[in-house]
Structure 1
Amino acid sequence: MNPSKTYDAALLEQARKLGTSTLYEASGIFTSSVDPLIRTVWPGASVAGPAYPLECSPGDNLSIHIAMERVPRGSVLVISTGSFVAGYWGEVLTVAAEAAGVAGLVIDGGVRDIAALTARRFPVFTRGISMRGTIKASAPSVGEPISFTGTPVAAGDLVVADDDGVLIIPATRVEFTLTQGQARADKEATMMEALTKGQSTLELMGLTSWRNA
């Protein structure tokens, strides 16, 4: 996929508002949800944008520094480290990312300088937190397709992340997933209105046969 792939602001806002749980169910791609241990650093963080994937060697963040000169504005960095938790990312790279127009970070390794990341409200989703620094000696891949905790990621795929987790939607499935996601959200809104009027979930979901089970 072309790393210059972009999505218009309205689509990204729709994806962010629909959220990962709704879009995951709508996507029909059950490998699109990454490892649930990849969590937000600060509550309420959310982001939607085209993926820019890269791979770091364990304990080495050179690929990230290279990516900062190549990443298209508006992208979400998706960084595989082999799940090695160290401080690959901190306040310095956050400032660099903001200047480069990076929308957010998803990493299966670790980050540090949590107070600064929280204060800057930069969306970060990570496996862990570690004060341990990294070396800069190798760069396995930058901008090339990767497997992120078992989920395929190519440049231009749509990343949506929030308090519920991180979702990767293949670029070819974005339009379908958002259409299905909006329909699902509309249906749930109707259901919740009915619930406030006294109907039960058994009734609304056609499960009344279980009342006498």
Structure 2
Amino acid sequence: MVSATTDLCDGNEGKLAAGEVRVLAPVFLKDVGGARSFWGKVVTVQVFEDNVKVRELLEKEDDGKQKVLVVDGGGSLRCALLGGNLAALAEKNGWSGIIVNGCVRDVGEINGCNVGVRALAAHPRKSNKRGHGQVNVPVSFAGVRICPGEWCYADADGIIVSATPLH
């Protein structure tokens, strides 16, 4: 982690006031994965109870760039969009973190992966496999609009998103 989110906020008060740096509402209850803090350039996916597009993105290697996958699952609490297999795939391909506006499962397996994960909750049911969703579109949840190509920083104190790198 480059700097704590608290320090990034303190050092960028003008950007916070201007909306260039945004703080997600503290609604992410599950802090899982082996990496407790993470940062990187944002890749987005918008899905609903279907994780095919999530898998497709995590199958792509990170090419040495810090990346965070932001999954807008519509806040559904009826099934998981990420499990142990996908977390292992994310680790293998160099993703630094995943934020899920929805649920995860296989929490024990995810905790064994060196990737940071934030989600609303855990749920044992797997998602559908229809392949519906949109990749690299702006998403909005937790009171914040997140666009592809922005920068995300997450640690125990919260999650912030910035239009420009803060490190």
Relative to the length of structure 2, the TM-score reads 0.83
TM-aligned CA deviation for residue 170 of structure 1: 1.1
Indicate conservation of the 8 Å contact 1:43/1:163, yes or no.
Answer: no
Identity, in percent, stands at 23
Give the structure with higher Rg (CA): 1
1:52-201 to 2 correspondences below 5 Å: 52-57=43-48, 59-70=49-60, 72-73=62-63, 74-85=66-77, 86-171=79-164, 174-175=165-166
Unaligned runs of 5+ in 2: none
Q: Could you say which structure has the higher strand fraction?
A: 2
Indicate conservation of the 8 Å contact 1:110/1:126, yes or no.
Answer: yes
Indicate conservation of the 8 Å contact 1:24/1:32, yes or no.
Answer: no
AA of the residue aligned to 2:56: I
Higher relative contact order (CA 8 A, sep 6+): 2
Q: Which residue of 1 aligns with 2:4?
A: 19
Q: Could you say which structure has the higher helix fraction?
A: 1
Aligned length: 158
Cα 1:163–1:42, aligned 2, differ >3 Å: closer, same or farther? farther
- CA RMSD, aligned part only? 2.2
Is 2:42 aligned against 1:51?
Answer: yes
Whole-angstrom distance in 2 between the partners of 1:38 and 1:123: 13
Relative to the length of structure 1, the TM-score reads 0.66
Give 4+ residue runs of structure 1 displaced > 3 Å after superposition. Answer: 69-73
